[in-house]
Amino acid sequence: MKPNPGGQLDPNEIVGRDALIAEIWDILEGRNIYMNDLRRIGKTMILNKMAADPPRGWLVSKRDLGGLRTAAEFASRVYRDTHTLLTGKKRAMRQMTRWLGAMAGAEIGGILKLPDGSEAPWKETLSRTFADLHEQQHQSGNDRVLFLWDEVPFLLDNIRVEEGAERAMEVLDTLRSLSQDYPSIRLVLTGSVGIHHVLTQLRKVGYNNSPLNTFERVSPGPLDRPAATQLAKALLEGAALRVDEPDSVAESVATLTGDVPFYIHRLISRMSKSEPATPQAFETRLNRELLEADNDWDLAHYRNRLRKYYPDDNDETVALAILDALAISGTPMGQRQLMNQVKSTVEPTDDEQIRDLLKLLLKDHYLSRDEEGNYSFRLEIVRRWWTQDRIP
């Protein structure tokens, strides 16, 4: 297998996710799923593999929604994807066809139009689309539909900014209602930014619902070490690097990259074919890459997004102090030790604020907590970058 960081992978090249995907299909028999995890962890690759090889009796539609900005664009996109899905099975969308009439399928700027040329109401578009799907499923007797919708939090936040918080609330409540009214239609919603940040903004203006309380939460996380090592070994061979001890080198690469497939691909792709590929050579190369001001590892995202999502009072300052302390330590820290360290750095800071921020940093996958209650960076590669970027 040749390294291809960030590129399109053949489903057979997406390794180490088969057990998780089998578990996801099992969950979808009874519930919808909200999948949230760090950027570059591999969520989209999981969706791609599910779409490429669904179990018998499932129709699957996958779409990245992060670029849509309005509820009408979203509803029109769902209709268009559904129309394509059913046309491939030689089935019709009766309600939508009657409603749209001679304008069926007509769009201007990505938004459906009614026969009189007006914009098709987004909520009606979604409701009729789901109703058509339900009718077709009932007639076919066995097909079920799965929507794999990527970057849903970005969609909702875009709608909030573009059309207002009330519209974003309506979209959330509509999705909750449709997921309950049509249980044979399943949803997998994903996001690299947690939807809780969108809900925080909406609750400031009175939104009190829990739209995803019936969704199963799934966090894929990195690969397990054997799978990450297997991937690294295959890529070492595919890159034709000079490797004397492939097993130990592959495990070293997996360790350095935190077992994240994207980073494994990227690190191996940056190694010179003219020099021996040793564990030390990989570590040296990684450090050099992370120190470059214009590097393309996208790790500065973890620093930059704090300013947007931790805006209240001095939350950003305290969150930075927590992460700085753990980066310097390099080993897990207990809550009391961490609190004392932060309070010696940022004043005034109380225990409750630190507790709240620790919970949020766990929810945002910056940190993990072991069985003894000690905190550490969830990914070693993020801690390594954080130390080089932030700590003098």
**According to the model, what pLDDT value does residue 94 have?**
77
Q: Cβ–Cβ contacts within 10 Å for residue 331, how many?
A: 7
Structure tokens of 124? 């009606």
Amino acid at 262: F
Domain covering 17-218 in this structure, CATH number:
3.40.50.300
Structure tokens of 190? 């994903």
Q: Which residues of the chain have pLDDT under 70?
A: 101-109, 141-142, 392
| pLDDT tens sequence across 38-92 | 989 999 999 999 999 999 989 999 999 999 999 999 999 999 999 888 887 777 7
**According to the model, what pLDDT value does residue 106 have?**
62
**According to the model, what pLDDT value does residue 130 have?**
94
Task: Write the CA distances from 62 to 32, 82, 237, integer angstroms.
Answer: 15, 10, 32
Q: Cβ–Cβ contacts within 10 Å for residue 273, how many?
A: 9
Give the whole-angstrom CA distance, residue 224 versus residue 198.
Answer: 31
Tokens 């074919």 belong to 273
**CATH entry, 301-390, from 3.40.50.80, 3.40.630.10, 1.10.10.10, 1.20.1290.10:** 1.10.10.10
| pLDDT tens sequence across 92-137 | 777 787 777 655 556 666 788 888 778 889 999 999 999 988 888 8
Q: For residue 10, what is the DSSP state?
A: P
**According to the model, what pLDDT value does residue 186 have?**
96
**According to the model, what pLDDT value does residue 138 have?**
75
Q: Does residue 156 contact residue 195 with C-beta atoms inside 8 Å?
A: yes
Gyration radius from the chain CA atoms: 23
Amino acid at 112: L
Using DSSP, state whether 53 is helix, strand or coil.
coil
**According to the model, what pLDDT value does residue 105 have?**
56
Give the whole-angstrom CA distance, residue 10 versus residue 323.
Answer: 36
Q: Closest Cα to residue 346, out of 364, 326, 320?
A: 320
Give the whole-angstrom CA distance, residue 335 versus residue 341.
Answer: 10
What would the 3-class secondary structure string for 217-280 be? EECCCCCCHHHHHHHHHHHHHHCCCECCCHHHHHHHHHHHCCCCHHHHHHHHHCCCCCCECCHH
Q: Where are the domains of the chain?
A: 17-218, 225-291, 301-390
Half-sphere exposure of residue 352: CA atoms within 13 angstroms, side-chain side: 0
**According to the model, what pLDDT value does residue 141 have?**
67
